[in-house]
Chains A and B, each alone.
Chain A
Amino acid sequence: MLDTSFEILSNREIAKNTWEMTLRGDTRGVAPGQFVNLKLPGFYLRRPISVCDFDAGSLTLIYKVVGHGTEAMAALPAGETLDVLTGLGNGYDTGPSGPRPLLIGGGVGVPPLYALAKALLREGKAPSVILGFNSADEVFYREEFRALGLEPAVTTADGSLGRKGFVTAAMDVPYTYFYTCGPEPMLRAVYAKSVTSGQFSLEERMGCGFGACMGCTCKTKTSHKRICKDGPVLTKEELAW
Chain B
Amino acid sequence: MVNTQVTLSGLTLSNPVIPASGTFGYGYEFAQVYDINILGSFSFKGTTREPRFGNNPPRVAETASGMLNAVGLQNPGIDRVIGEELPKLRRVFHKPVVANISGFSLDEYAECCARIDREEQVGIIEVNISCPNVHCGGMSFGTSPESAAQVTRAVKAVTTKPVYMKLSPNVTDIAAIARACEEAGADGVSLINTLMGMRIDLKRRRPLLGNVTGGLSGPAVFPVALRMVWQVYEAVKIPIIGMGGVASAEDVIEMMLAGATAVEVGAANLVDPLASKKIVDELPRTMERLGIENLTDIIGGAHHG
Residues of A within 8 A of B (CB): 1, 3, 39, 43-46, 69, 83, 85, 204-208, 210-219, 224, 229
Beyond A210-B273, A216-B59, A224-B74, list 20 extra A-B contacts (CB 8 Å).
Answer: A3-B33, A3-B273, A3-B274, A44-B65, A44-B66, A44-B271, A45-B60, A45-B62, A205-B57, A206-B60, A208-B273, A212-B269, A212-B270, A213-B71, A214-B59, A215-B59, A217-B53, A217-B71, A218-B57, A229-B29
User: Residue of A at shortest CB range from B61?
Assistant: A205
Q: What is the distance, in angstroms, from A84's C-beta to the closest C-beta of chain B?
A: 12
User: Residue of A at shortest CB range from B66?
Assistant: A44
16 A-B pairs (CB sep. < 8 Å): A1-B33, A44-B63, A44-B67, A44-B218, A83-B272, A205-B58, A205-B59, A210-B273, A212-B30, A212-B270, A213-B60, A214-B25, A216-B57, A217-B57, A217-B74, A218-B57
Determine whether the beta carbon of A213 is less than 8 Å from that of B274: no
The binding surface of chain A is classed by DSSP as loop
Task: Answer whether A205 and B60 are a contact pair too, CB < 8 Å, given A212-B270, A219-B53, A224-B74.
Answer: yes
Residues of B within 8 A of A211 (CB): 25, 29
Of all A-B residue pairs in the complex, the 6 with the closest CB atoms, nearest first, are: A208-B270, A215-B60, A205-B58, A207-B60, A214-B74, A45-B62
Residues of A within 8 A of B29 (CB): 1, 210-212, 229
Give 1 or 0 for each of B45-62: 1 = CB within 8 Å of chain A CB.
Answer: 100000001100111111
Q: What is the distance, in angstroms, from A86's C-beta to the closest C-beta of chain B?
A: 12
CA distance A189 to B276 in the complex (A): 44
Question: Which chain B residues in 215-267 approach chain A with CB under 8 Å?
Answer: 218-219, 267
Q: What is the distance, in angstroms, from B187's C-beta to the closest C-beta of chain A?
A: 28
Residues of B within 8 A of A3 (CB): 33, 272-274
Q: What is the distance, in angstroms, from A217's C-beta to the closest C-beta of chain B?
A: 6
CA distance A45 to B58 in the complex (A): 14
Determine whether the beta carbon of A207 is less than 8 Å from that of B54: no
Determine whether the beta carbon of B32 is less than 8 Å from that of A1: yes
CA distance A210 to B29 in the complex (A): 7
CA distance A207 to B215 in the complex (A): 13
User: Residue of B at shortest CB range from A219?
Assistant: B53
CA distance A218 to B210 in the complex (A): 13
Partner of A43, one of B23, B25, B62, B270: B62
Task: Answer whether A212 and B54 are a contact pair too, CB < 8 Å, given A44-B271, A206-B60, A207-B67.
Answer: no
B22 CB within 8 Å of chain A: yes
Partner of B24, one of A46, A205, A212, A229: A212
Q: What is the distance, in angstroms, from A155's C-beta to the closest C-beta of chain B?
A: 25
Residues of A within 8 A of B64 (CB): 44
Q: What is the distance, in angstroms, from A180's C-beta to the closest C-beta of chain B?
A: 20
Residues of A within 8 A of B53 (CB): 217, 219, 224
User: Residue of B at shortest CB range from A46?
Assistant: B271
CA distance A93 to B22 in the complex (A): 30
Determine whether the beta carbon of A212 is less than 8 Å from that of B62: no
Q: What is the distance, in angstroms, from B68's C-beta to the closest C-beta of chain A?
A: 10
User: Residue of B at shortest CB range from A39?
Assistant: B271
Task: Answer whether A214 and B71 are a contact pair too, CB < 8 Å, given A3-B33, A204-B57, A219-B53.
Answer: yes
Q: What is the distance, in angstroms, from B165's C-beta to the closest C-beta of chain A?
A: 23
CA distance A204 to B60 in the complex (A): 10
Determine whether the beta carbon of B74 is less than 8 Å from that of A208: no
CA distance A1 to B159 in the complex (A): 39
B296 CB within 8 Å of chain A: no
Determine whether the beta carbon of B269 is less than 8 Å from that of A208: yes
CA distance A210 to B272 in the complex (A): 10
Give 1 or 0 for each of B18-43: 1 = CB within 8 Å of chain A CB.
Answer: 00001111000110110000000000
Q: What is the distance, in angstroms, from A69's C-beta to the closest C-beta of chain B?
A: 8
Interface centre among A39, A44, A218, A224 (most CB of B within 10 A): A44
Residues of A within 8 A of B62 (CB): 43-45, 69
User: Residue of A at shortest CB range from B57?
Assistant: A204
